[in-house]
Amino acid sequence: MINLEYLNKTVGNNKAVQQQILGLFLSQSANFYEQLQEHYEKSEFTEIENLAHKVKNSFAIVGASEQSETLKSIELIAREKDPDKKLPELIAKITNDSKQVFKEVEELMKQ
């Protein structure tokens, strides 16, 4: 699910810096999907929009571009207050995908 090409272009082959960025990603993004769900249950669309906006860039940096795009969709739909009721499906998708991305990042950090 992740592709480190962007990260490699940004920091080069500096493993220490890569490890630091991956660690920050894990610590700053962990359990964000629970927050998304909580905000959705309370119809807090502005909070959903803000959280998705914040986290999408973190996913892009570690090369999880598909998940970054899903977060962009969540952000835009939340801005419109989810008129077509698509958020539950997207939140479920990003929750499942994020768990896999986090596992992959954790594995990379062991290398």
12-47 pLDDT, tens digit per residue, is 888 899 999 999 999 989 889 999 999 999 999 999
Stated pTM of the model: 0.91
The structure tokens listed for 69 are: 């795009």
Q: Which domain holds residue 19?
A: 5-110
pLDDT tops 90 at residue 95: yes
- What per-residue confidence (pLDDT) applies to 31? 87
Q: Specify the number of domains making up the chain.
A: 1
